[in-house]
Amino acid sequence: MPRTARDVVFVDGARTPFGKAGKGLYAETRADDLVVRVIRELLRRNPGLPPERIDEVAIAATTQIGDQGLTIGRSAALLAGLPRSVPGYAIDRMCAGALTAVTTSGAGIAFGAYDVVIAGGVEHMGRHPMGEGVDPNPRFLSEKLVDPSALVMGNTAENLHDRYPSITKERADAYAVRSQEKVAKAYADGKIQQDLVEVLVRSAEQGYGLATADEPPRPGTTLEGLAQLKTPFRAHGNVTPGNAAGLNDGATGAVLAAEEVAAELGLDARMRLVDFSFAGVEPEVMGVGPVPATEKLLARQGLGMDDIGLIEINEAFAVQVLAFLEHFGIADDDARVNPWGGAIALGHPLASSGVRLMMQLARQFAERPDVRYGITTMCVGMGMGGTVLWENTNWEGNAK
């Protein structure tokens, strides 16, 4: 029989605190155990969801080896105690892994193949540095399919500064300071903590403890301090550790459901998935990827940027966010953009970050019934961008 698309809703999200790669919070914690902790927390927070009603577990990881391998969606589902009847899979779209896990499994819900899914991502950059085990085809360089700088993300950010000369280092640093300040305020106001799940951690020096807060934020960051940092990707360049996201560990997860199934089970419907779009750009300026992805999406929906009341954009690099804002004529300090700060302060464990953006947007929607639409968007390595359009189920216009 012909199928009609069903509405897909974001029910809930949870994440581990993000740690610093190397000797940070999760130096002695497995990546798959971080995913297990998130899955179990989602079930604890949503007692109306019978585990056997979960139709799929889609977990992203960029480096799918070691404790991030073995089809991590399925292995984490088993480790979390889900019924053996619940399948799972792994997915990779680099930084947009979790975002793609949501759009792919969400499309399955809309089609009718699933009723409820768990989608998320993990990256343990301490155990698995970006690029570990990869073997780029020599044709990329020998046939000049990409510029050599395309294979180093920091170099692509420097290239973006070249393309947008109006985006100076000072402007990027100023954006980074605001991100730190917004995260500090969000923590002080109790905005971030409600989506975090405590993780048992261990270190040789301190024994056992609990990870309860993000490790990367640097409260008190100043323009003067950032001005002193070195530019590791180019002599006298613009990109520094202060105006870019760091190397981080962490996991995220979300429950998505068909809207009528969420109602049947008594689950929250925090926001509605409207549409999504991915686009490719020149790999050497991968940071501009959110621009065409967003343009495609808005054009298809007949919307303009003025219709978007909240923008959660991943802060891989300050220049990448500023390029997006400049293209759409949005001020650097527009209140719609990352109201609670972003990855420059919170961290960016690659494949996990897309769902963090969604969690923050869903919380902001709950506080802003005047806002109907919001987007989550991010750039992706090898020259891509992805954008998801969400509708606020709490929008005051629904009552009219």
> Is residue 348 flagged as an active site residue?
yes
Domain-embedded: residue 340: yes
Record the tokens describing residue 394, joined without a space. Answer: 């709490």
Confidence of residue 3 (pLDDT cuts 50, 70, 90): low
> Is residue 128 flagged as an active site residue?
no
Compute the average pLDDT of residues 260-269: 98
The per-residue pLDDT of the chain, averaged, comes to 96
Record the tokens describing residue 207, joined without a space. Answer: 């024994």
Domain-embedded: residue 205: no
Higher pLDDT, 57 or 131: 57
Helix (H, G, I), strand (E, B) or coil at 256: strand
Contact between residue 34 and residue 251 where contact means Cβ atoms under 8 Å apart: yes
**Is the per-residue pLDDT at 2 higher than 70?**
no
Domain-embedded: residue 314: yes
SS (H, E, C) 167-233: CCHHHHHHHHHHHHHHHHHHHHCCCCHHHECCEEEEECCCEEEEECCCCCCCCCCCHHHHHCCCCCC
User: pLDDT tens digits, residue range 355-371?
Assistant: 999 999 999 999 999 99
pLDDT at 206: 79
Compute the average pLDDT of residues 293-298: 98
DSSP conformation class of 146: S
User: pLDDT tens digits, residue range 208-254?
Assistant: 999 999 999 999 999 999 999 999 999 999 999 999 999 999 999 99
**Is the per-residue pLDDT at 203 higher than 90?**
no
Distance (Å, whole) CA 67 – CA 129: 13
- CATH number for the domain spanning 363: value is 3.40.47.10
Helix (H, G, I), strand (E, B) or coil at 288: helix
pLDDT at 151: 87
CB atoms within 10 A of CB 221: 20
Phi and psi (nearest 5°) for 170? -65, -40
Supply the range of the domain harboring residue 324. Answer: 146-191+274-391
> Is residue 124 flagged as an active site residue?
no
390: left (phi over 0), alpha (psi -120 to 50) or beta: beta
Helices (runs of H) and strands (runs of E) counted in the chain? 12, 12
Record the tokens describing residue 96, joined without a space. Answer: 């947009």
Distance (Å, whole) CA 363 – CA 270: 8
**Is the per-residue pLDDT at 159 higher than 80?**
yes
Q: Which of 95, 124, 128, 161 is catalytic?
A: 95
pLDDT at 204: 75
- What percent of the chain is predicted at pLDDT more than 90? 94
Domain-embedded: residue 5: no
**Is the per-residue pLDDT at 315 higher than 60?**
yes
Record the tokens describing residue 153, joined without a space. Answer: 């993300």
Domain-embedded: residue 346: yes
How many domains is the chain built from? 1
pLDDT at 398: 81
pLDDT at 207: 85
Compute the average pLDDT of residues 66-73: 96
Helix (H, G, I), strand (E, B) or coil at 159: helix
Which of 147-156, 236-245, 251-260, 333-342 has the least mean pLDDT? 147-156
168's CB contacts (< 8 A; 6+ apart) are: 161, 238
Helix (H, G, I), strand (E, B) or coil at 57: strand
**Is the per-residue pLDDT at 73 higher than 70?**
yes
Confidence of residue 77 (pLDDT cuts 50, 70, 90): very high
